[in-house]
A and B are shown apart, each in its own frame.
Chain A
Amino acid sequence: MRCPRCVQKIHRSAAQCPHCNFTLSDLDELYGSDEVRLKRLTDMAGALRLSERRKLEGVLDEFQLSFPQLFFSVYYGALEDRTNIRQFGLWLLNHAAYDDLEINRPNDGGILLLVDLNTKVASITFGYLLDPFLTEDDTFNILAKAHPYLLQGNHLKAAQLVARQLSRLLKRKSRQAKRNPESFVVSSAMKAGATKDLERIRGNKIFGPDLDGQTEPYLQSKGKDVQR
C-alpha cells in the first residue's frame, strides 16, 4: 500500500503516512468534508454522448450483477492543473454518496475509475473490501490495456475494457478465495462500521437484499420507506 501523496509504501494499518504525515483530513481541508452526491457514472467533462452513457451504465449493471458486494463507478472530470488525481480519487471515494446504488453496496466495495480530461490522467481507486484482492500492478495492467482507447479519446471503449478486465480479474480472485479461504481473514466489523454512515447517506432506499438483516428494521424504526 502506498501513500497517495508521497507514493511511499506504508503499513496497512498506518493512521498517517510515516513519510509525509498525510491523512484524509488534509484532503478534507482542500476539497471539503461533506458528502458529494454522485451517480455511478458521472460525466462532468462531457466525455460521453448520451447513447454512450447508456451503454456504459449497462456495463456497470452487469458488473454489479456478478458482484453483489461491489460496484464500479466512473468519473470524468476536468480537474485543475494542480490537482493530484490520486488524492482526489481517494477523497471522492470516501465522500461519494451514490444515489443509484443499493444500501448493501458500501463504498468500501467500490472501484472508482477517475479520468481527468484536462491533464489526461486516469486512475483507479478501490475500497477496503478489495484491499486483499487488488494490487497496484493489477490496476496498472488494466489501465495500460485501455491506454490506446484513452489516447484515441474513445472513453466508452476504455471504460468498458477496464470494467471487463476488472470483472475477469475479480472473478478469478473470488474463486481463489473460495478455494483457499484461509488466505483471507473474514470479518464483518468493517462492514458493520460503515453501515451507519451509509444509512445516513442513502437512508431512503433499499434496492437489493439486506445482507446482514439489520438495515431494514433500523430504517423502519426511523420511519423511512423501504423500497424493494
Chain B
Amino acid sequence: MRVGLLSSPLLLILTWVSAVAESLPQWSDEDFARSRRGEIIAGIDILVEDKEVMATLKLSLANEVLPSIPEEPAIIYDPNVVPTDALELYFSAFETHLIDPQQLLTSPEYSEQEGFLNYHAENSSLGIKMFIFDADQTLPRTHTIDKICQQLYSDDYLTVVVYCFLGSPDRTQLAFAGEGSENITSAKQREILETAKIRAMGKSEPVLQLDSFIVQLSISLFWLETDLKKLMAVIDAEQSRVQAATAWMSSKKSGEVDVIKVADGGGLEVLKNQWYWIMSALMGLLTVVVVCVLAIRMWRKSQRYIFPVGETPERLGARYAAGVGAVLIFHKKIGSPSKQRNQIPDYLRRI
C-alpha cells in the first residue's frame, strides 16, 4: 500500500527528467549572429572529431570572405493602384467607347452600356472615351486625365474623356480633347460633369450609377453639340463677311469671294443657307405659273365660237330679230331687280 502511494510522484519526476535530458539545444541570439557572420558552422562539432582538422577548418572559415547575399526587395501589392499591365490595355484601346480591361463590369452590363454609347456615337460627331476603374483605384501621375487627353486625343476630332470610378461617382473626372475643345469653357465642362454626377449619385448600385451617368452625359453632350454648331455658324458667317469685306477693299469682284459654307445649326439655318435656291425655285415656279396663265388666256382669246344657224321662221314680220329679252328698270324707287323678274307690259307698270 505504501509503495503504491510513493510510485506516482516518482514516475512524474522521472518523466520530467527524461524530457529535459532529451530536449534540443536552443539558439541564443549571440550564436545566431555568429552563425550569420560565418564564425560557426552548425553541427561542425559532431561531424569533425579531429581537433587539429577542426582548428584548421575554423581558421579557414574565419579568413574566408563570404559573398554578401543581397536582400530581396519586398513585393508590396496595393489593390488601390491600377496594375501596370492593365494600364497598357487601358490606353491602347482606340476602337471602343467603353474601356474596361479589368473586367469590372460583367459581360451583359458592358454590352448594354457599350451599346448605348455606340447609339450616341451614331448621332453625334463628338467622340466618347469612358475608362472604367474600381471605386478606390488611383492612377499614376503619368496617366492623369489631362496628360492622356494631351497625348492621345489632342490631334483627333473633338472627344470627351471620362475616368469613371465604379461605385464612386463623385470621383468621376471629365475632360475634352481634340479639335474645337478650346471653345468649351471649363465652366461648361464642370456643369456637364456635375449634372451627370448628381444624376449618378441618385442611384445606389454602381452599375445603375454608371448607367445614369452615361445617359445624362449623352443628353448634355447633345445640347453642347447644338450650341457648338450655332457658335461655329456664327463664326463662319463672320469670317465670310470679313473675307468679303477684304475682297471688296482689295477691289476684287464680289463673285470671286469664297463664301464659307455655314455649318448646319438646325432647320432655320438650313433655310437660311438655301435661301438663294429656295427663292430661285419659287421665282421659277411663279414664272411657270404666270406663263401658263397667260398661255391659257391667249388660247382662250384666240378661240372662236361658232353657232349653228337655227331654222327660226320670221315672226311678227321682223326680218332680223323678234327676240325680246329682259327689261330692267334701274330707278331707286323700284328697288331690287328680283322684283322685276316677272316681266309685265309697260302700260300695266305705269298704272
List A contacts of B315 (CB < 8 A): 1, 10-15
Answer yes or no: A191 CB below 8 A from chain B CBs: yes
In the complex, what distance in Å separates the CA atom of A130 from the CA atom of B325? Answer: 11
Q: Are B318 and A90 touching (Cβ within 8 A)?
A: yes
Q: Does B344 contact A (CB under 8 A)?
A: yes
Q: Bound state CA distance, A126 and B325, in angstroms?
A: 7
Asked if A68 meets B329 with Cβ closer than 8 Å, knowing A23-B317, A94-B319, the reply is no
Q: Are B329 and A120 in contact (CB under 8 A)?
A: yes
A8–B293 alpha-carbon span in the complex (Å): 46
- When the two chains form their complex, are residues A86 and B346 in contact, meaning their CB atoms are under 8 A apart? yes
Residues from 12 to 46 in A contacting B, C-beta threshold 8 Å: 12-17, 22-25
Whether B70 is near chain A, meaning CB under 8 Å from some CB there, is: no
Query: Is B345 touching A14 in the complex (CB atoms < 8 A)?
Result: no
Docked Cα-Cα span, A69 to B345, in Å, equals 32
Size range of the chain B interface in the assembly: 35 or more
Given the complex, which residues of A lie within 8 Å of B314, measured CB to CB? 15, 128
Which one of B13-21, B82-90, B269-277, B330-338 is at the A interface?
B330-338
> Is B321 positioned at the interface, with any CB of A under 8 Å from its CB?
yes
Q: Are B308 and A184 in contact (CB under 8 A)?
A: yes
- 8 Å CB contact of A128 from B317, B321, B330: B321
| Residues A136 and B329 in contact in the complex (CB < 8 Å), given A69-B307, A144-B338 | no
Interface presence of A51 (CB below 8 A):
no
Complex contact B322–A144 (CB within 8 A): no
Given A84-B346, A108-B321, check contact A136 B326 (CB 8 Å): yes
In the complex, which residues 96-155 of chain B have their Cβ closer than 8 Å to any Cβ of chain A? none
Interface 0/1 of A51-62, CB less than 8 Å to B: 000000000001
Instruction: Report Cα–Cα, A225/B320, bound state, in Å.
Output: 26
**Contact status A16-B317, CB under 8 Å:** yes
Contact A13 B310, beta carbon cutoff 8 Å: no
The residues in A between 180 and 194 inclusive whose CB is less than 8 angstroms from any CB of B are 181, 184-191, 194
Contact between chains at B309 and A89 (CB < 8 Å): no
Is B305's CB under 8 angstroms from A90's CB?
A: no
Q: Mark B249-282, 1 if CB is under 8 A from A, else 0.
A: 0000000000000000000000000000000000
CB-defined contacts of A121 to chain B, threshold 8 Å: 327-330
Q: How far is the CA of A4 from the CA of B324 in the complex (A)?
A: 6
Contact assessment for B312 and A131 in the assembled complex, using a CB-CB cutoff below 8 Å: yes
| Beta-carbon contact of A66 and B304 below 8 Å | yes
Known: A1-B322, A133-B307. A122 touches B328 (CB 8 A): yes
**Is B321 a contact of A190 with CB atoms below 8 Å?**
no
User: Are the C-beta atoms of A22 and B316 separated by less than 8 Å?
Assistant: yes
**Does B73 reach chain A (CB closer than 8 Å)?**
no
- Chain A, residues 110-131, CB within 8 Å of chain B (1/0): the string is 1010000001111111111111
List chain A residues, Cβ under 8 A from B343.
2, 7, 136, 140
* CB <8 Å contact, B338 and A132: no
Q: Tell me whether B28 is interfacial, beta carbon within 8 Å.
A: no
Closest to B326 in A: A140
Q: Is B313's beta carbon under 8 Å from chain A?
A: yes
Q: Are A140 and B341 in touch, CB under 8 angstroms?
A: yes
Given A65-B301, A66-B301, A130-B323, A140-B328 contact (CB < 8 Å) = yes
Closest to A153 in B: B330
Cβ–Cβ < 8 Å partners of B326 in chain A: 123-124, 136-137, 139-140, 142-143
Q: How far is the CA of A109 from the CA of B323 in the complex (A)?
A: 11
Report the nearest A residue to B341, measured CB to CB. A140
The distance in angstroms between the C-alpha atoms of A174 and B303, with both chains bound, is 11
* 16 contacts across the A-B interface (CB closer than 8 A): A7-B343, A22-B316, A24-B319, A69-B307, A90-B318, A120-B330, A121-B329, A123-B326, A129-B312, A140-B340, A143-B328, A147-B336, A170-B305, A177-B308, A184-B308, A186-B311
Binding site for A on B (CB under 8 A): 301, 303-332, 336-338, 340-341, 343-346
